[in-house]
Structures are given as structure tokens and as C-alpha cells.
A and B are shown apart, each in its own frame.
Chain A
Amino acid sequence: MPRQAKRPQGSESGALLDIRNLRIEATVYPPGEDPRDIVIVDDVSLTLTKGKVLGLIGESGAGKSTIGLSSMGYGRGGVRITGGQVILNGRDILKGGQKGFRQLRGREVCYVAQSAAAAFNPAHRLMRQVIEASLKHGVFSRAEAEKRAIALFKELSLPDPEHIGDRYPHQVSGGQLQRVMTAMALCSKPDLIVFDEPTTALDVTTQIDVLAAIKKAIRDTGVAALYITHDLAVVAQVADDIMVLRHGKKVEKGDTRQIIKEPREQYTGALVSVHEIPHEEHKPAEPILSVKNVTAAYGGGQVKVLKNVSVDLSAGQTLAVVGESGSGKSTLARAITGLLPPMEGSIVFDGRPLPPRLGDRKKNDLRELQMIYQMADVAMNPRQTVGTIIGRPIQFYFGLKGRKRDEMVRELLDKIEMGSGFFDRYPAELSGGQKQRVCIARALAAKPKLIICDEVTSALDPLVANGILKLLLNLQQEENVAYLFITHDLATVKSIADSIAVMYRGSVVRYGPRSEVLTPPFDAYTDLLLSSVPEMEIGWLEKAISGRRMESAGN
């Protein structure tokens, strides 16, 4: 492959990337309607100088990934660039056609995807994939490319850098794979790298390592980057400038300090203070739920996922159970609901012991213990209307029918701040936040004493999640209902919990009132967990990394 003869460094303005009035559209095919075009990105302009990092932030549907990929002339899922210019190294790449795109992809601009596990070809060894673009574009010989790859593996502090390239993608952990993908992007010495939510799929304690590795690699190689994420605290650690996007339009752009300290727009301000929810911690009182020495396992006792777990939850209060994936926190919920009967231990609810198996529990036990799920999409029958979904528990538990039931459904719809106009809607016609509200109403319809909330805000955008949390707290005051709040998101926990249980590999490692749990001295794992939660503060990353006592599980 011939090396590109001439690559003018920067345009007259000195910008590496200059996107002007970008407009991107896509055709959607709504069921039962004619296909129509929608605008995904509307009149967005940005410039990026050599060696700088620009953060693109916004909630889902803000068009941030689409903008990032437009710098490579790529439209995912049939989106079309219908207006504006994308000027890279002084030329408008949109005029270059497919051949032009192929020459710049992998050479001038490289891409790091959210899920490296899916982005690597399972059939080939990592090294082959890492150096593929360099060979294709004739940047290096094979030997040179492999040498550079190994150097990059070292730079990104991957274990065994000499040989990790001989492995297949499935033989490497998620956090490592994400760093290998960063090495792959850096290998051909591009001018620009597009990072598309590179740490979102990782556990919080792994995220911090990957983030630090990416930041170091960017600094040492002097590459420019577009860093796309929905998490303002994360992007504040790596970006020089930040652009806030919403519904495909620019909200505001500024340097990182200005955005997080002095936001000009109300929307940005809301994003900055998204985790601040006023909530007074309650003192422990009479427990509504007591989990005593519960041990549970899958596969007939083969795989122990809960080990001797004991926690209490006071009536009308919130117990947050935090931990990373595999910590057993969701299994605890399954044990309490009776879906996974514990092998040992007991569960006392409202003063009476609960039968371990779901099938043996009384209707009243079931009624008083409700559950809300992470994915509201699949937690509702898509063939039932909102009225049916919320009305069913009322009919099932209280035997109310017809107008009386519908009346109660309408009251509940008002309570979740949606209104009775939603009575005849189907779940597919609701937004993510509305769906979760309907699920909350369905749980409340049973007039429960305890609701298990399993990662109820994890799938939602930060502002929507914030609204749901506030609603839950209000409802708790009105109905005096207790929450068992399962989450991996410590920021949420800090704002709404009365007491906290930290779980690690099936055991509770720290448990008590919120103020005590969050006050030092910490055990090693709690320390790691707490110190890994990104804070909206420049320089937090370096401080956190230097202060750590324990290696994260993802390594």
C-alpha cells in the first residue's frame, strides 16, 4: 500500500479537525406508520487542535457517537450526513467518497468502541488485529508494528506485554481488552482517536484503571481525541474542552473547568449537580426485614453466590446494597423474593419468618413485598396497556374490578406524575423514564411494606434517573414504604440511603448506617470502591490512583 504522499498538517486555522454545520439524518420505520426521516445531528460545529482532547457529553439520543463517527465518514445503522463539512487535516473528507474514507480510517483517525469484547474478531489473535491497520496503510513493516504494539501494551500497563498479543480476545478480561483496543487505535500513529464510551461497560473499580491508562497514553503520544461519554465526571478527568449536546444540538462548549464549575446553561448545571438529592438520614428503627445468615447457591449447592449474609432494614427506610458485578447483590434479591430459596439462614419479614420457596408463601406475603426491575422495557408485558399493568395487582390482591379499579389506577398515575392520559397507552409508546414510573406504580398498587429496587436507575440517563430517585423518596414519605435498593452506583447510594451494605464476592464486607459506612477508617475493598467513584473535580483521577491500597478485581 502506498503511503499517502502528502498530508498537510492542519488547515489555515491550525485545526486538526474542523466540523462545520454538521447535519445528520436517518430514516426510521415506526411500526404501523410510513417510514420517515429524522434529524439526529442538527447544525453542530466544533474544532479540535492537534494533541487536544474534546469531550462530547450528553444523554442517549444526543447524537454524540454519530458526531464522533462522522469524523471517519462513517454512519452507523444507515444514518446519512446530509449537510455541513468535516474538514480533517485541511480537506473536506465528505468529498473524498468511499475510497477517501478508507484511506483515512485506521490511518488518520482510529476508533475505540464501548464494548471491546464485541469489537475484536473472536477468530484471530489480538496482535494480528492490533497491527492490521498499520500494515494495511503501509505505516510500518510487520516487525516494526509488532514492536510498537508491545511498547503500547507496556504503556497501557497491560500484564505480560510481550505475549498478550498471542492471546485470543476471549482469553483476556474486559478491562484489559479495552486497553488492547486503545493500543490498536494508537498503533498506526493516527492524528485523532475517537473514544466512544470506552469505560461505560466496565465495573467502577476497573474503569478507573482503564481511564488512567487511556489518559497517560493520550498524553505520552500527543494524539488528539474525541472522548464521548454520558458521564460528566469521567470526561472531566481526560478532556481539555467539553461540548454538551442534547437532542442533536449543541447546548454549550467551554473548557473543562468552566463547564463543571461555572456552567452557563441550565441543562449543563443540571448535569453537574445530578447526584445532589436532599435526603436526611433516618436512625435505625424496628426492622421490617431481617436477613439472618443467609447462604444461597446455584446448581444444587455447587456455586455459592451468597455467603452468610445478614442485614436488617428498618420500616419506611432505605437500605442500599452496593457491589460490583458478581458481588451477589442481585442474588440477595432473588433469595428474599423466594426465587432462589436459600440453603441456610432465615428471612423474617414484618415479624414473621417467610417460607424460603416462593410457591409456599401466602398471597399477603407476596403483596407486601414488591419488586422493581432494572430494565423497565422487559418488566412490562408489551401487549398490555398501562391501565391493565397497574390495575392487575389491584384486582389480584384486593378483588376490585371495573370503575373502582380504574379509579385507583388513575390516582396512581397522578402519584407518579404522569396523569390519567396514559391509561390506554402501551409500554412501547412510553419513554424510558415513564416506563420505570409505571413499574413503580404497579409496585405501589399492591400497597406493599417493602419494595426491592434492582438497579432501577442504571439503564436511565442521569437526569431521568435523578427524577426517578426523587419520586421514590417522595413516595417513601407518603406511603411509609421501605426500599431495598440494589445498585452498583455509589453516587446514588450516597444521596438516598439510610443504611448501606457493601457486598464483595457474595459476602457483606461493611454494613451500618450511611454516615458510619461512609466514614473512615475503611476496609480495603470499601476504600477501593469509594475511591473509584469519579468525582466532578479536575485532578481527581490522579489523586485517587495514588491513594489506592488494593488492586481492582478487573486486573
Chain B
Amino acid sequence: MKSPLLKLVAQRVGLSVILLFAVSLLIFVGTQILPGDVAQSILGQSATPEAVANLRESLGLNQPAYLRYLEWLGGLLTGHLGNALSNGLPIGPELWQRLKNTLFLAFWAAAISVPLSTVLGLIAVRHKNGFIDKMISATTLLTISLPDFFIGYLLIYFVAVKLGWFTSVSTVFDGMPFLQRMNAIVLPATALTLVVLAQMMRMTRAAILNVMQSAYVETAQLKGLSQFEIIWHHAFPNSIAPIINVIMLNLAYLVVGVVVIEVIFVYPGMGQYLVDHVAKRDVPVVQDCGLIFAAVYIGLNMLADIFAILSNPRLRHPK
């Protein structure tokens, strides 16, 4: 009974692995084989020919491209992320530290936004076209229209500067006490939550409403069940898959939103790290960060699909 399900899940995981390899190739191609001389464009037009030649040498640009790709990929698979161009230090430890910080921030943003948006989405369905529902539509429109940095700076301006409740710079460091660390991420976590909350709510609402319009919900109504029983027993079991899908997609979105938010709050996470090194044209760091962001994104999308497969009664109970 279980094997077809297992096969589907295995297929989906396999697809993600293939995708990840393809993405690594794409990122490599994107940074290496673009028109023009990479070394020249990194150093700018005013660089001396010697400097360019030196950089070419240290980037290994004199080797054929496929060798450099294999070298990079081999390093990644064995845990060697290479050295940064800007300071010559190994990328691994720094990146790992930053990734932990980013995941910490994203985790708490998700811990607030996921339950909150699900509950609010359910309330919106329960009181469809009512006041709460209208409010939710209005805030959704607002937040999908506001740039992430507007939300961030509004928080800083009003909460940190005018009210003086939190600091505008979210410094965290190793060995920081937990509570202090939590205190430091209150504003960025709030900003991140606001960035994804409305979208999540709206999609949750749409997912449940879609189910509420199906014929089996009418059947339940014609059995004399109460509104609560209908939502809980009949709509909810069928909405779990789409809701989880919504959550995963928004978590993926959150991973991207984190880049801008980290820059605003000067939070030492991976987004900040990536942006700094894009400005410095530090290609090895950019490649590694880009691949890790993409991996998280692909992983979350994969989880969404796997949940959808697992919760489908047609697949769980084949004929």
C-alpha cells in the first residue's frame, strides 16, 4: 500500500537534487562566463594590466571553465567553500556563523507569522465579507504594496527613535545571552513578520474558501451540521495541503525578504554578508551565498510538494 507514495516522495527528492546541481551550474555560469573579462570588471576600467593579470591568476581564470566548476563543486561537497577575494580568509566559518544568525531570525519570524496568519485566515473565512475580512483584504493590499525597507524604517522611526523601546541596530554576537539576543531581534523579526503575514493570510483564506465552495461542504450543510463542524470536519482536512503549501511558499519568500531586512537593521546574517560582497565583487563569496539561498528555497518548495503528496487521500489510499 505504501510503496507508490514512497516512490512519489523519492522522485520529488531526486528532482530537487538534480535541480540543485543545475542551479549550481547556472550560478557558476552567471558569474563566470558573462561577456567581458570578469577580472577587468571586478577591478574597474582604471586597473593596471598587472593587477588584472594577478587577479586572473588568483581566480584561476586561466584554467578552462569546466575545471573551475568541478573544483568549486567538489569543494562544496567536501565542505570547503574556498577563500574570499577581499580578505583571503576561508569563507566556511564566517558563512556558517551568518547562516545560523539568519536562520535564528527567520525561525522566530516564522514562529509568529505562521500560527497568526492561519488563525486570522480562518477568522476571515468564518466572517466572510464581514468587518474583519475587509480589514484583512485592506492590510493585504497595503503590505504587498509597501517595500520591505519602508516597513523596516517605519518601525525604526516610530518604535526605536520616537518611543525608544528597542535599538535600531540589531547587534548579535557569539555567546550572547538568549534573552538579550531575543531583545535584539524583536524589530527585524517584527518587520519580517509584517512582510509575509498579509500574503499568508490571504492565501490561507483563499485556500479554505475554495474548499468551502465544494459540493461536499454543501452536503455537510444539508446534513444539518453547524458552521463550526463544517469548517472543522469537512473544510479543514481538505485545506491542510493547500495551507501547508502557502506556508512553505511564504517561508521561501521570507528567506529572500531577510536580505533587505538584515541590511536595514545591520543584522550580521547571510543576507548582509551577500550584499556586502556583491558590492566588493567578491565572486567566491557571492557564489556560495547564492547557492545556499537557492538550496533553502528549493528545499522549502520540495517540502511543500511532499506534504501535498502525503496529505492527498487519493495517493494515500490507492484503488
Q: Which residues of A contact B (CB under 8 A)?
A: 72, 74, 76, 101-107, 110-111, 113, 115, 118-124, 129, 132-133, 136-137, 167-168, 170-171
Contacts and interface: CB of A to CB of B under 8 A. Distances in A.
Contacts of B34: none
A136 B222 contact: no
B227 to A, nearest CB: 9
> Which among B219, B229, B237, B314 has the highest number of chain A CB atoms within 10 Å?
B219
Which 9 pairs, one residue from A and one from B, show the smallest C-beta to C-beta distance?
Answer: A106-B223, A105-B224, A118-B215, A106-B224, A123-B237, A133-B223, A121-B216, A102-B224, A111-B222
Interface in B218-241: 218-226, 229, 233-234, 237-238
Contact of B220 (A121, A137, A167, A170): A121
Contacts of A107: 224
B216 A118 contact: yes
Contacts of B313: 122-123, 168, 170
A101 B224 CA distance: 7
7 contacts: A103-B224, A113-B215, A115-B215, A122-B314, A123-B313, A137-B224, A168-B314
B7 interface: no
* Interface size of B as a range: 20 to 34
Nearest to A121: B216
Nearest to B226: A102
Contacts of B223: 105-106, 110, 132-133, 136
A119 B224 contact: no
B219 A105 contact: no
Contacts of A111: 219, 222
Given A122-B313, A123-B238, A170-B319, A105 B216 contact: no
A74 B222 contact: yes
A120 B216 contact: yes
B162 interface: no
Nearest to B240: A123
B317 interface: yes
B226 A119 contact: no
Contact of A72 (B222, B234, B237): B222
A136 B229 CA distance: 10
Nearest to B239: A123
B214 interface: yes
Contacts of B214: 118
Contacts of A113: 215, 218-219
Interface in B167-224: 214-216, 218-224
Contact of B216 (A72, A102, A122, A170): A122
Contacts of A103: 224
B132 to A, nearest CB: 20
Nearest to B229: A136
Contact of B238 (A101, A104, A119, A122): A122
A386 B223 CA distance: 46
A120 B219 contact: yes
Contacts of B317: 167-168, 170-171
Interface in B228-284: 229, 233-234, 237-238
Contacts of A106: 222-225
Nearest to B214: A118
A119 B221 contact: no
A136 B218 contact: no
Contacts of B219: 111, 113, 119-121, 129
A103 B314 CA distance: 33
A128 B46 CA distance: 77
A171 B219 CA distance: 19
Given A104-B224, A105-B222, A170-B314, 7 more contacts: A102-B226, A119-B215, A121-B216, A121-B234, A124-B233, A167-B317, A171-B317
B215 A110 contact: no
Contacts of B220: 121, 132
B182 to A, nearest CB: 39
Contacts of B216: 118-122
Contacts of B221: 74, 105
